[in-house]
Amino acid sequence: MDFTLFSTLVINGLAMGVIYAMLAMGLILLIRAVGILNFAQGDLLMFGAFISSSLILDFELPLFIMIPLALLSFCIVGLIFMFAIYWPLRKASYPAATIIATMGASIVLKEVATFIWGALPRSLSPILTDEAGKAAILYIGSVPLQWQYVLIIVVGSILIFLIFMLFEKLYVGKMMQAACQDAYAANLLGVPTIVTIAATYMIVSVLASVGGYLVAPIFMVRNTLGTLQLRAFAGVVIGGFGNIKGAIVGSILVGLIEVFSTVSFSGYKDVTVFLLLIVFLVIRPQGLFGEKIADKA
């Protein structure tokens, strides 16, 4: 393996890892906020990709109008998602019901996307292109890197960093965390839990959907994009228990492993990622950054 190939693979792996990390972070935020494992996370990504493709291809909006409009519609999708899937079920007596409902939501999102935009994959051109309309390429020394991958890493990392800061450092984030830990007590202290939960859902939707917009030029916009969430699940477990930092590192690891194993044994690339996951579960069930698993009584 020469240096050019190696560095291309590293960049591709990091880019995919960042995408998985965006999904994984959303998963953890939802688990912490409402205790729900969201099986429609990948489909939110898919929906985001379709919305942005629609704004670009159907409405032909310039980038500076398209981006705020896209963000707004991602927020609305998140809100609708919350009021359809979480709100009616928040007092469900059967804990699996909420998870099954997200599985239903996954089907609905897929079918609605097929219904609106058709079953054929749509191709979206990269965000940065050269004069000929091809993907722009960044040369570092003699190593060619696709701008799209670099852009994924930069934009994704910034977004992840900002949301991490929001939750860990700002007062609003503290309020949101309080609402997660004990909704009743937080309500008594004047934290509007419905607003914080709605905000969490919107953030999660934006994270996933921006990921969708960023990967769309690579995988094309199709309704099977949702399967990316399985890698995010792997990243969450490898990283550690309900730990955002761990989930991000784990997801990036998954992205890198996936890319390198594609080169070595293409047919079995899924095996490497998920076998690693199972090995991790056996040897170190608490994940890379997790603490020893303990039960809350």
Partner 1 sequence: MKYKIWIGIVALGVFIFAIPQVLEGYSMNVMNVALLFSIVAYGISIMMGMGGQLSFASVSFMGGGAYFIANVCTNRFGINMPTLPALLLTPVVFAVIAFVIGLFLFKLKGTYFTFSTIALVQVAYTFFNNYKPIFGGADGISGIPTLNLFGYKFTSYNKWFYVIVACVIIVAVLVERIRRTQLGRSLASIRDNETAALTLGVNVYMTKVIAFSIAGALAAFAGALWCMHGKFVGADMFNYANAAQFIIMAMLGGVNNTIGIVVGAILVKVLPELLRSLQAYMQLIWGIAIIVLMVFMPSGRAGLYERVREKVGSFIDKNKPGTGKEQPHETSSKA
Out of 20, 39, 74, 117, point to the residue binding partner 1 (CB under 8 A).
39
Kindly give, in sequence order, each residue whose CB lies less than 8 Å from that of residue 126, ignoring residues fewer than 6 positions away.
135, 136, 146, 147, 148, 217
Contact 257, 276 (CB under 8 A): yes
**One residue of 61, 67, 79, 108 binding partner 1 per CB under 8 A:** 108
In angstroms, rounded to a whole number, what is the distance separating the alpha carbons of residues 47 and 228? 13
Tell me if 247 sits within 8 A of 240, measured CB to CB.
yes
Instruction: Mark residues 110-149: x for contact with partner 1 by CB under 8 A, - for none.
Output: xxx--x----------------------------------
Contacting residue, 209, 241, 255, 258, with partner 1 by CB under 8 A:
241
> Considering the complex, what minimum distance in angstroms separates the CB of residue 24 from partner 1?
11
Compute the least distance from the CB of residue 123 to partner 1, in Å: 24
Tokens encoding 296: 């809350």
Choices 88-96, 144-152, 164-172, 250-258 (CB under 8 A): range interacting with partner 1: 88-96
Q: Does 103 bind partner 1 (CB under 8 A)?
A: yes
**According to CB under 8 A, which one of 5, 72, 80, 88 is a site residue for partner 1?**
88
Q: Which two tokens stand for residue 70?
A: 């896209």
The DSSP output letter for 90 is: T
**Tokens 């688990």 belong to which residue?**
31
Which residue matches tokens 């896209």?
70
| CA–CA distance, 145 with 264 (Å, rounded to integer) | 21
Residues that bind partner 1 (CB under 8 A): 31, 37, 39, 84-85, 88-89, 92-101, 103-108, 110-112, 115, 227, 230, 233-234, 236-237, 241, 267-268, 270-271, 273-275, 277-278, 281-282, 285, 293, 295, 297
